[in-house]
Amino acid sequence: MAPVMRDSVAPNHAEQGTAPLMEGICLCKRFGKVTALEGVDIVIRRGEVTGLVGDNGAGKSTLIKILTGVYRPDEGELRFEGQRVEFASPKDARRLGIETVYQDLALIENMSIARNFFLGAEPQRKVGILNLLDVRKMRLVTEEALKDIGIAVRSANDEVSVLSGGERQAIAIGRTMHFGGKLLILDEPTSALSVHETNKVLTYIDEVRKRGLAVIFITHNLYHVYPVADRIVVLEHGRKVGDFAKDEISVDELVQIVSYGAQRVARSARQQ
Ligand SMILES: Nc1ncnc2c1ncn2[C@@H]1O[C@H](COP(=O)(O)OP(=O)(O)OP(=O)(O)O)[C@@H](O)[C@H]1O
Ligand SMILES: [Mg+2]
């Protein structure tokens, strides 16, 4: 089913550069008696990395699942490129160019890098009456696309099983860029990586931003997200308690807010 678009809003071209790519307005989600999200607003812009942080159970994954069509909000609405959208499934969100890369990536171990890169969109070539996979084209395009964002693989014909965690993230990120993604969502991409690998993934994220895509980066590690984020949104018990441009807040202040709670930090600041 195609995503339902409603209330078309004419874009203001003077603001195109800064117009939101996606907005969540007053989003609420309940699971039985648990309120996972309560009145959360979020604005996602092109060419910006939005860090989404908060303690366990804060509502980060629930928010992402609403933006990607896994859940429907109980209240509130979504807008994409100025139009109201309703997603019946993740397919609807993907059709608009919203891609999610999870920590435990859905890459297939014993298949080549190139096959994984093209998964579901394999080019074919005709040989007589047969349609064969165009393996050569897949290899060349994959190597070129990865090189383009600074990712070197020995050969795209190598199996994914030879890749490290960071390289796997890179393949998934490269795939999103190559197939015209507009919003890349990374859920804990660096949590299982070494320092060196983490730095590489952060470089790729920076490259994605430079290409003008919007990125949402979810993590528990504020020291990973802070260097690459343009904005940082803090969730706490399902509510948004902070939405900062990077230059409004230091990483130490952010750590305080996430560790001790926004209210306590504000109270102790008033008392000082
Ligand atoms: N499918 C579900 N059914 C019932 N409760 C849920 C469900 N998904 C999330 N919750 C609850 O909603 C709240 C928010 O959970 P969510 O997974 O969004 O948090 P999170 O910020 O992603 O946490 P973490 O950092 O641990 O991944 C939690 O109290 C969680 O137990
Ligand atoms: Mg989560």
Q: Which atom of ligand 1 is nearest to the CA of 59?
A: 18
Gap from CA of 26 to ligand 1 centroid (Å): 18
Checking if the pLDDT of 10 tops 50, the result is no
**Three-state DSSP class for residue 111:** coil
Gap from CA of 110 to ligand 1 centroid (Å): 33
pLDDT digits (tens, 9 = 90+) for 53-93: 999 999 999 999 999 999 999 999 999 999 999 999 999 99
Over the range 103-132, which residues count as b (16 or more CB within 10 Å of their CB) and which as e?
A: beeebeeeebbbbbbbeeeeeeeeeeeeee
Cβ(29) – ligand 1 distance below 6 Å? no
Model pLDDT, residue 196:
83
The protein residue with its alpha carbon nearest to ligand 1, atom 6, reads 31
Q: Which ligand is nearest to the CA of 187?
A: 2
Cβ(64) – ligand 1 distance below 6 Å? no
Residues facing residue 217 across a β-bridge: 51, 186
Nearest to 228 by CA among 215, 240, 242: 215
pLDDT band at 2, cuts 50/70/90?
A: low
The protein residue with its alpha carbon nearest to ligand 1, atom 28, reads 57
Q: Are residues 177 and 75 in the same domain?
A: yes
Classify residue 165: in a domain, yes or no: no
Gap from CA of 18 to ligand 2 centroid (Å): 29
Gap from CA of 4 to ligand 2 centroid (Å): 27
Whether 58 contacts 235, CB under 8 Å: yes
Domain total for the chain? 2
Cβ(221) – ligand 1 distance below 6 Å? no
Classify residue 128: in a domain, yes or no: yes
Token pair listed for 222: 């504020």
14: DSSP letter: G
Classify residue 93: in a domain, yes or no: yes
Classify residue 6: in a domain, yes or no: no
Classify residue 7: in a domain, yes or no: no
Model pLDDT, residue 13:
42
The protein residue with its alpha carbon nearest to ligand 1, atom 24, reads 56
Cβ(46) – ligand 1 distance below 6 Å? no
Model pLDDT, residue 8:
47
Q: Are residues 153 and 234 in the same domain?
A: no
Q: Are residues 258 and 191 in the same domain?
A: yes
Task: Name residue 206's amino acid.
Answer: D
Domain range for 147: 111-158
Gap from CA of 207 to ligand 1 centroid (Å): 31
- Domain holding 48: CATH number? 3.40.50.300
Token pair listed for 259: 């560790």
pLDDT digits (tens, 9 = 90+) for 158-206: 998 888 777 888 888 888 888 889 999 998 888 777 888 888 889 889 9
Transcribe 175-215 into DSSP letters.
Answer: HHHHTT-SEEEEESTTTTS-HHHHHHHHHHHHHHHHTT-EE
Q: Are residues 204 and 224 in the same domain?
A: yes
